[in-house]
Every structure is written in C-alpha cells, then in structure tokens.
Amino acid sequence: MIVRFWEARVANDRLDDAVAWARTVLVPAALAAGASGVEVVASPADAPTNNPARVVVLMRWSSTPDFVEPSIDPAFVDRAHAWNFFSV
C-alpha cells in the first residue's frame, strides 16, 4: 500500500476555498486515476506559532501512483507539494 501525502500551505483566510478545491477537484481526480481511498484533513492557522492554515490529502494506492495533482489556484494556496509513503 502506498499513501500519497499532498499538503498545501493556505493563504490567509482562504482555508474554506482550499478545502473546497480539494474535495471537488483533487479527490475526484485521484479516485478517477485509481486511488482506492482519499481523505481530506485541514488545520487552521495558528497565530502564536506563526503557522499558516494547511490542507492535507491522503490518497491510498495499491502501487506507486503515476499521478500528478491538478494545478491549484495560487490565490488561495501559497505552496503545495506531495510525496509517497509506504507501509513498513
């Protein structure tokens, strides 16, 4: 089992937009490409530690995916990246 971990650092006050994009664009794209399951989680900004809001999408695959995430609007995401994890 491979879990692809996609994380986005969200622009100020745009968490709802980033979550909506993940649910309506990224999740269906991953499922259409063969992911066996997808989970979306989010974290609000934390001003005391200066951490921005984040959206994380966990995509489960039976083998290493040949999947490139769709482009996301830079108006609500400052940075996004992904990498694969495997069960140990």
Q: How many domains does the chain have?
A: 1
Give a yes or no: residue 55 inside a domain. Answer: yes
Whether residue 72 lies inside any domain: the answer is no
- Whether 7 is in a domain gets the answer yes
Domain span at residue 42? Answer: 2-63+77-86
pLDDT in tens, 3-47: 999 999 999 999 999 999 999 999 999 999 999 999 999 999 998
How confident is the model over 70-79, as a mean pLDDT?
Answer: 90
Question: Could you tell me the two tokens for 19?
Answer: 């979550």
Q: Distance (Å, rounded) from C-alpha 57 to C-alpha 69? A: 11
Domain assignment of residue 69, yes or no: no
70 lies in a domain?
Answer: no
48 within domain boundaries: yes
pLDDT the model gives residue 87: 84
pLDDT digits (tens, 9 = 90+) for 37-73: 999 999 999 989 999 999 999 999 999 999 999 999 8
For residue 38, give Cα distances in angstroms to 12, 73, 81.
Answer: 25, 21, 16
Q: In this model, does residue 78 exceed pLDDT 90?
A: no
Predicted confidence (pLDDT) at residue 83 exceeds the cutoff of 90: yes
Please report whether residue 68 resides in a domain. Answer: no
